[in-house]
Amino acid sequence: MDKPTIIRQDITHTLESNYMPYAMSVIVSRALPEIDGFKPSHRKLLYTRYKMNLIKGARTKSANIVGQTMKLNPHGDQTIYATMVRLTQGYAALNTPFVDSKGNFGKVYSRDMAFAAPRYTEAKLSEICTEIFNDIEENAVDLVDNYDGTLKEPVLLPTRFPNILVNPNQGIAVGMASNICPFNLNEVCDATIAYLKNETIDVLEYIIAPDFPTGGTLIYDEKEMRQMAETGSGSFKVRGKYTYIKKDNCIEVTEIPYTTTVEAIIDKIEELVKAGKIKEISDVRDETDLSGLKIAIDLKRGTDPDVLMQKLYKTTPLEDSFSCNFNILINGMPRVMGIKEIIYEWSLFRQDSIVRKYRFLIEKMEKRFHLLLGLKEILLDIDAAIDIVRHTEKEKDVVPRLMEHFHISEMQADFVAEIKLRHLNRQYILETLKEVDELEKEIARLKDLIEDPKKVKKVIIEELKQIQKKYPMERKTDILKHTEVVKIKHEEMIEDYNVKLFFTNHQYLKKITLVSLRSSGEQKLKDEDQIIQEIDANNRQELLLFTNQCNVYKMKLHEIEDCKASQYGVYLPNLLKLEEGEQIIAICSTSDYSGYMAFAFNTGKIAKVPLNVYETKTNRKKLIKAFYGKAECVGIEFVTDEDILELEREDEKVAYIPVHLLEEKQKRDANGMQALAITKKIGMKQMKKISEVTEEVTERLAKELPAISKAR
């Protein structure tokens, strides 16, 4: 058996010869739009309809259109039909839909609303397509062979308005992508007219902001808009619109961001409700029907709808970002351009289309003018022409004899020979001679026009004004300045309710609502476990957890799930990922980091540390050296200056000291001050905060430190 031949080849050569042609094909012939605002698939589809006379004719079955399009677009029928769906009025994805549709074509704002099969739907070109194809028969753009060379198709469509800016367009090529947001037709026309008159304009004075077919409210930041307008890159936020129905205590969302769907919004709301992160909603439904989009959100009693919507904007796709990337093919090369540059390129393209159109018309008129000049010569001696025709024996000799007698060209002589006998009357002769003069003037006018760029621009301006008048378009997307946006605080996103915290010896933490606590029975604990600390807290507070390795861990209480008395709660070592041998010895909750932490050591010293030394600007989860570690810690308590501490020695003698006598330390790991008198053999055993000040405590309260302990 022969050994296989191994050919060594440079990887760069392989990529260049194999991968580059594919990449360029995707970039140039598939994914990116050109200056007319269309990708090849859109162009082939629309041109097929135009050739089917669907711009003025009646609708036909979509299956028929798909089949005819395959003559230009050799892809599967489902791919072609899906492309057509996006262009339809029914799908509502474009500001100026190009397809007048009948039947179910789905909706751009619905993920699950599937479009019907092509055999059930009908379509034709919409009226605005007259502005797309009006000049195509007059050589305004180049025509090239289709994939098998049997038909011709346009390289670009001679659109009379900057469609590239009016309708959204998205494409993913190889190594690059394009994402063009839509703008209002009227505003784009105004900006283009102003630019053609003065190239130094500020386009943002005419194009206010993007305008989406799905409406919504755009959060307007002039800095963001200017970046997008000048560079073609940037992002902005769009949020949905809603109405509060007071009698039903219900919010109705009727417009959503272009980048999301009804189902995505509802799924996210349901997820938040199930997770307990939003408790103000009792039900959410999709009530979209033939009248349009509607998401109904039923509220619980006492809910502020505006505050709830601010929460939903922050946590669901009801507010979404649109990232712009104005990447467009210009003469076969991809370029990222700002709005003014796009208008400039489109105006060049349109000027070229108009010049080509008028040259075609001039050529046609000159041909007609040439024929009529020959006819004029004949009409000066019509009897001689008739005599030549009558007395010429052979038909083939008529044209040469006319040419010889009247000194006209063969084309002119052939035209004269074909004139019907009934046209040889005075009226026809006078009208023909009049047409000669009119043609001469029109040819001179058009030649003068195409040689003067200013006059060509005036033609474009007039076309744009006619389009504005014929297709008036109100803005669908409202504008809300970013300075007017109600910014909801993070705390307001968290539900506000009181809880009871139970910390056990086996390192379990229970967070129980007061309502649940009132209706529950005994606390469920593991065998030989016991509750060592109870704290009244609020769901919006932070929790500090001190360990035997002098570390403190910080958590948001709302991040811990509520539980019931019949549950064990959360196992903190797993939740906090404690190190081996590390155990939590005390917990503390706070909302503003006021007050102090008191750390008692067996040396009789107490460190009174302000709680705010544990506050951090960044969301740090762990702080080391949380307290003094060179002596055994025998008690940790959260205190204020009004509290009283009970200190117990190992010989069970106690002392009571007011917290205000303790000196405040600014370092977390300070060893404190001597608070209790001890001996070499007898140290401090424990420290705890007095919950009730009795007469005995008041009588034995220390006046100075260190306190002298006494028997109970």
Number of Cα atoms under 13 Å in the Cβ half of residue 393: 0
Task: Identify residue 705 by its one-letter amino acid code.
Answer: L
Residue pair 69/45 in contact by the 8 Å Cβ criterion: yes
**Per the omega criterion (within 30 degrees of 0), is the bond before 4 cis?**
no
How many angstroms separate the CA atoms of 385 and 403, rounded?
A: 10
Rg of the chain, C-alpha, whole Å: 42
Q: Give the residue carrying structure tokens 């289709």.
A: 146
CA proximity to 185, closest of 577, 470, 495: 470
Q: How distant, in Å, are the alpha carbons of 361, 442, 448, 608 from that of 445?
A: 12, 5, 5, 96
Number of Cα atoms under 13 Å in the Cβ half of residue 107: 20
Identify any residues that bridge with 327 across adjacent strands, giving them in sequence order: 336
Q: In degrees rounded to 5, what are phi and psi of residue 105?
A: -110, 15
Could you list the beta-strand ranges (E) of 168-265: 169-172, 177-180, 217-220, 233-239, 241-245, 250-255
Classify residue 160 as left (phi > 0), alpha (psi -120 to 50) or beta: alpha
Q: In degrees rounded to 5, what are phi and psi of residue 517?
A: -65, -40
Q: Give the residue carrying structure tokens 């001597």.
A: 674
CA proximity to 47, closest of 72, 67, 30: 72
Identify any residues that bridge with 498 across adjacent strands, giving them in sequence order: 538
Residue pair 707/658 in contact by the 8 Å Cβ criterion: no
Residue pair 656/603 in contact by the 8 Å Cβ criterion: no
Residue pair 693/659 in contact by the 8 Å Cβ criterion: no
Residue pair 256/495 in contact by the 8 Å Cβ criterion: no
How many angstroms separate the CA atoms of 568 and 526, rounded?
A: 7
Cβ count within 10 A of residue 91: 23
538, exposed or middle or buried, with CB in 10 Å at 0-12, 13-18, 19+? middle
Cβ-based neighbours of 111, under 8 Å, separated by 6 or more: 261, 262, 263, 264
Per-residue exposure over 101-133, b if at least 16 CB sit within 10 Å of its own CB, e if not: bebebbbbbbeebebeebeebbbbbbebbebbb
Quick check: is 471 catalytic?
no
How many angstroms separate the CA atoms of 332 and 100, rounded?
A: 31
How many angstroms separate the CA atoms of 160 and 166, rounded?
A: 12
Number of Cα atoms under 13 Å in the Cβ half of residue 524: 11
Which of 19, 22, 120, 593 is the catalytic position?
Answer: 120
Listing from the earlier edge strand, what are the strands of the sheet with 122-125?
60-61, 122-125, 99-102
Could you list the beta-strand ranges (E) of 457-527: 478-481, 498-504, 508-513
Cβ-based neighbours of 484, under 8 Å, separated by 6 or more: none
Q: Which positions are annotated as active-site residues? A: 120
